[in-house]
Amino acid sequence: MSTNQAIRLAVIGRGLIGSAAARHLSKMGHDVALIGPDEPADLSRHGGVFGSHYDAGRITRSYDPGPFWRQANRAAISRYGEISAESGVEFYREAGALHVGHSETTDVASIGSICAEDGILCEAYHDAGLAERFPFLKSTAGMQGYFEPRNAGYISPRRLVRAQTIAAERAGTRIIDEPALGISESGSGVTIRTRSGSIEAERVLVAAGGHTQSLLGRSLGFTVYGRTAALFRLGAAETQRLAEMPSMRCLGPKGDNPYILPPISYPDGQTWLKLGGDPVDLPLDSEADIKDWFRSGGSIEVADRLQGQILDRIRDLAFEERRVVPCMTTFGDSGLPCIGPLSERVTVAFCCYGKSAKCSDELGRLGGMALLGEVRAELAP
């Protein structure tokens, strides 16, 4: 496709942040194109772009140790209803979020004090009280838990992307269902290459997750890691027994600090528990590495370890099948996302440390504001 007239603003990346940015920019009245492919039907045969939002479960909650992330979480969660109303797509369940760890070996108590200072509703449970409130837990001796009952639970990142895309299109965004192959900047604008031609834009926001640096053709100093999660299929009885289970963050040393999603109905019609918290840092240094990783299906060794961890934490868990799932996340040194201009015409919004699904609407909004030239002081390291 070639455009005779330059688009004012282009957003590259139809994932969580890019679709959010397009919605916000279009609602502000800007001429916006959102560029990127749909989710592939078969990862093992797919030859193009991969994304980690191809899933039905991500924890959402207000609490985070970092003030920026707490602010972003709360801003995004406050707009979940708006996004659903604008799109007609539901993507959030308020199941609550439980943060739990050993009282003596983790800094779990800081969660309670931060929530109190920040006005986040949070219930404290200890030992027997934890077992009584959450009877599915296998062991609670010496354990402390903090439970967020409101504005917490889980989202479907796949459905959130769909909701943002529909809402953006309804607000005027033009959807271009193709991967961007590269960009080149000139004094008059930015040319975006796709398989079927080129697109001209005045300014571009690159929100392509782990693909961002390779698309730009240069390193920005961030590392993309391959990660493995595990899904455990439940029968009807286990689904019913664990129906009131919240999302969980288990505090502990790296490699023994999994996150656990409650039973979620997936597109295959089955109900799965999801567990993540991969202890292995597997750098993905190129597009070829990313493609090989997603096609590999993830690490069986990591999945075995995750299986042991969920059996240690959920009492008498009976599952019927295990599925191993690869994903990727991007890390930097500051602990903050990389949102800001690279030049007068090119801005980026990526590097989210595995934290972005729940707060992606706010990160997309900030990316859109950065594209328009607004500097956000809260993003300074």
- Phi/psi of residue 368, each to 5°? -65, -40
The answer to whether 106 and 251 are in contact (CB under 8 A) is yes
Residue 6: predicted pLDDT: 73
In CATH terms, the fold of domain 7-58+157-221+335-379 is: FAD/NAD(P)-binding domain (3.50.50)
pLDDT band at 377 (very low <50, low <70, confident <90, very high): low
The answer to whether 257 and 277 are in contact (CB under 8 A) is yes
Least confident window among 36-45, 56-65, 248-257: 36-45
Could you list the beta-strand ranges (E) of the chain.
7-12, 32-35, 58-60, 92-93, 97-102, 123-126, 143-148, 153-155, 174-176, 182-185, 190-194, 197-206, 223-234, 247-250, 259-265, 271-276, 282-283, 321-331, 338-341, 346-350
pLDDT mean across residues, the chain: 93
Per residue in 346-356, pLDDT (tens digit) is 999 999 999 99
Tell me the average pLDDT across 38-64. 75
Least confident window among 2-6, 26-30, 127-131: 2-6
Comparison of pLDDT for 2 and 111, the residue scoring more: 111
Residue 277 burial by Cβ neighbours in a 10 Å radius (0-12, 13-18, 19+): buried
Residue 47: predicted pLDDT: 57
Element (DSSP H or E) covering residue 286: none
- Equal CATH topology for 7-58+157-221+335-379 and 67-154+222-331: no
Structure tokens at 111: 């969660």
Comparison of pLDDT for 221 and 381, the residue scoring more: 221
The answer to whether 247 and 260 are in contact (CB under 8 A) is yes
Tell me the average pLDDT across 164-192. 95
Give me the percent of the chain exceeding a pLDDT of 70: 93
Distance of CA 372 to the CA centre of its chain: 24
Element (DSSP H or E) covering residue 379: none
Domain 67-154+222-331: top CATH class:
alpha beta
Q: At residue 306, does pLDDT exceed 60?
A: yes
The answer to whether 138 and 130 are in contact (CB under 8 A) is no
Q: What are the structural domain ranges in the chain? A: 7-58+157-221+335-379, 67-154+222-331
